[in-house]
Amino acid sequence: MQRSIKQIIIFTKKEILEVFREPATFLIVLLVFPLSLMFLFGYALKFKVDNIELALLDLDRSQESMALVEELKDEDRLVILQDVNEDDIKQRLDEGKIKAALVIPEGFEEDVDNQKRVEFSLIVDGTKPLSYMAISEILSEIIVDENRRLVGERLSEMNLDFETHLIAVDEEVLYNPDFTDKDFFIPGIIGVVVTTVTMLLACMAVVKEKETGTIETIFAAPIPRAVFIIGKCVPYTLIGLASLLISTALGIYWFHVPFVGSIFLFGALSFLFILSSLGLGLLFSTFVQNTIQATFCVILFVIISILLSGFIFPIASMPEAIQKIVLVLPLTYYIRIIRGVMIQGLDWSMLRSETLSLAGITVCTLFLSIIGFTKRLD
């Protein structure tokens, strides 16, 4: 036992020296990469679409249509362009100068006065679905308000006093009442940063041993495979914890993401997530032969994790076959954990299932890594 501990310490010191032998690479992995992702997702990516260019063609030019135009101009999320005609709408859409065009038909006011149904023409660029959904939401709200106003005016003209808002919804939004994109993205990107850093470093550490041939010398020595795995894990666990600390501090103090849960629970479950990522990195290193293959495997796995873990897209909307695949992704469970602890303030009893699943993945990957490191190398 004492001999194994000494061997682990020797391997750990060796790995630490290897890390600091290339300080530029170390700083890129520990600082540049996390900061770049945090600022990218914190500032560049958002669900709320602003500055939507909407071409507005008013063929009626009446008092009613002009009032509606003014309502659209008052909408902060729209950029209204009125110097258009029916002939150049499609051309402007093709050129990307507008996202959609709304045509108010001729005779709009007259049809409203005669209580006839009026249909506006909305032409949208289908290659930009987020813009379409935003425009559709905005127009729906404005049209509903306009209908209520017109109904109220007609009832007043008939000397009838009816309540036009018989049904109302009293909304209560928990955890993220302002629907802030940063509160959604930042906890998830912390998980992406941690898993990418730990997986890539652990995988590359072993692959470099293969490329230089030193791994043959290591396996020729009477060293248990578990000792080799633990010695490799210790320094990269510390680096993973450092990247976690930097990313979390940046999220809280720079992006002002709330942290309402237990710091101890957050640290403990994050440590478990780091171990699962290390296990995957070491597992990948057992079947790749060079750094190019290692980098490709890790990046591919991270991309799959981002797309399928629920980080951006809800898992429930995915096909059933895909929903089964996400069960083997550690990020799937960590997304739920980190958002639950940071934003919702959940305790361990509410995260028991995710914790046990993450622990199971950690044990399996580390066990398979130990089995995969055989002394017979190709």
Q: How far apart are CA 75 and CA 49, in angstroms?
A: 13
For 342-375, the DSSP string reads III---GGGSHHHHHHHHHHHHHHHHHHHHH--S
- Average pLDDT of the residues of the chain: 82
Q: Does the residue 151 lie in any domain?
A: yes
Shared domain for 32 and 65, answered yes or no, is: no
pTM assigned to the model? 0.81
pLDDT tens-digit map of 71-124? 888 888 888 888 788 778 888 888 888 888 888 888 888 887 777 888 888 888
Shared domain for 229 and 148, answered yes or no, is: no
Closest Cα to residue 189, out of 42, 9, 327? Answer: 42
How many Cβ atoms from other residues are within 10 Å of residue 323's Cβ? 14
Q: Does the residue 163 lie in any domain?
A: no
Q: Does the residue 167 lie in any domain?
A: no
Shared domain for 190 and 321, answered yes or no, is: yes
Q: Does the residue 170 lie in any domain?
A: no
Shared domain for 213 and 338, answered yes or no, is: yes
Shared domain for 339 and 270, answered yes or no, is: yes
Question: Residue 244 belongs to what domain range?
Answer: 2-45+179-372
> Where residue 19 falls among pLDDT bands split at 50, 70, 90?
low
pLDDT tens-digit map of 34-58? 888 888 878 877 777 788 888 888 8
Shared domain for 253 and 351, answered yes or no, is: yes
Strand order of the β-sheet with 100-104 is 78-81, 52-58, 100-104, 121-124
Shared domain for 221 and 150, answered yes or no, is: no
How many domains are contained in the chain?
A: 2
Q: Does the residue 378 lie in any domain?
A: no
Shared domain for 355 and 280, answered yes or no, is: yes
Q: Does the residue 331 lie in any domain?
A: yes
Residue 377 has pLDDT above 50, yes or no: no
CB of 26 within 8 A of CB of 246? no
Q: Does the residue 225 lie in any domain?
A: yes
pLDDT tens-digit map of 226-256? 777 777 778 888 889 999 999 999 999 999 9
Residue 69 has pLDDT above 70, yes or no: yes
Shared domain for 221 and 293, answered yes or no, is: yes
> Where residue 191 falls among pLDDT bands split at 50, 70, 90?
very high
Q: Does the residue 285 lie in any domain?
A: yes
Q: Which helix (H) or strand (E) holds 80?
A: strand 78-81
